[in-house]
Amino acid sequence: MESAAILLGRVSRNRDLYVSNERLEARLQQNRRNAASLEATTATNELGQAFTLAELAGKSTAKKSIRRDELMTRIAGFERIARDLGHVGLFITITCPSRFHRFRTVNDGKIITDNPSYDPKESPKTGQQYLAKIWTHIRAELKRKGISPYGIRVAEPQHDGTPHWHLLLFCKQEDQDTVCRVLGKHALKDSPNEPGADQHRCLIKTIDWTKGSAAGYVAKYISKNIDGEHVGDDLNGRPATETAQRVEAWAANWGIRQFQQIGGPPVGPWRELRRIKSLPANAPDHLKRAHNAANKTAVFEGREKASVAWDHYCQAQGGVFCGRKACIKLAMFTPGKLGLYGDDASPRPYGIETTSIERYQEPGRIGQWMKRTVHWIVESDRHEWTIQRGPTKAQPTRSSDAERSETSEPWTCVNNCTDVEDAEVYSSVPQACCQRDAIHLAHFHLVTSK
């Protein structure tokens, strides 16, 4: 359906921006149904506290403002690290070859016309796959050269729905030329001789720290692809708060991941540390620093508190180049039951784990100190929830079952499944975590090193 709208030329800044109006309306209706379902579903924990799922979702990154704040926090933290280490910041834009674009622009972008090079077999999804493949080659070559850039990647649509990427990367000064050369090499490997490839396929701008911050370069791209706050009008002269809905519908329709962190420690332990109210008094120093960093807050935009110490978290994890060798990892368990569709349940986090080196003295061997590795598991605050689904607002009735089967939306597990009359109990933690006196346990596995 959406591919046909693109092929017919209905998706452009002159008509339906980013996605067709039909696809936008379908997405808005789906979001409204989902919101009504969350409002009508109540979760009650073992302490008797009851919330709607909408209230619980409003405390997570499912809420757009929280998602935006977290992304900006991570970007600002990376920038502080780059400044402290004397690294350079690069703002990069990578676009797809001409065959992915339904339209082309002329007269300095003032006029759009049909693109004779357009391939109808291409779509925003294949365009995103192309860009992801390009980045895979770039990352692999940089790794072979011992270069590990860090930053963030944003995927957003051009007016006709074709995706392009904005990247904010930080790297060592001595690696800047190599990074730029590798980026240009792979971005121009496909169709390098087509008109405009050298000028538009890969644009790289070095950030001047004296003129502004790196976060300022990407703030508008983050905001206009989430909720459009603080942007005003976009490049097409439309309110960003409205076009953000079209961007969200575009990403959902084509299955495009809009934001991705590049390098640095994983964000999973960061979020899990925010679930832990306190650590054992004898917890290792790096764990205490990471916990303090994740829970250090400040008022953001005068609205709510947000964690602001991503740079300290990176340092506690072993530095911005730690990658998968981060000191603190998620503690996972696999539920002993089948999933919703009868398959094996996926592993779930229930806390964090790390190791530390301790000096100890064996009984009877006074003055002889030895070292041992201590394996820590600190469980996070989680609850056992009872889910009660209530009635949602009445939907428009269909005149017949045949008409309903023709016009109904595809089934999903969010809100189109058969209502459950009886309460269902969901536990997201192992049995030990359900004991209220066992929330902040640290389990030790001692290994004596010679």
Catalytic residues: 217, 221
Task: Say which DSSP state 185 is in.
Answer: H
Quote the crossing angle between the two packed helices 240-254 and 21-40, to the nearest 10°: 90
Query: If phi over 0 gives left and psi between -120 and 50 gives alpha, with beta otherwise, what is residue 133?
Result: alpha
Q: What's the CA dihedral at 128, 416, 382, 68 to 10 degrees? A: 40
Q: Cα separation of 310 and 266, whole Å?
A: 11
Q: Is 181 in contact with 171 (CB distance < 8 Å)?
A: no
CB-based contacts of 391: which residues, under 8 Å, 6+ apart? 40, 419
The helix/strand/coil state of 133 is helix
Q: Is 64 in contact with 227 (CB distance < 8 Å)?
A: yes
Q: Judging by DSSP bridges, how do beta strands 304-307 and 329-333 pair with one another?
A: unpaired
Task: Say which DSSP state 129 is in.
Answer: H
Site of tokens 């070559």: 141
Q: Cα separation of 20 and 161, whole Å?
A: 10
The β-bridge partners of 154 are: 166, 259
Q: Cα separation of 192 and 201, whole Å?
A: 9
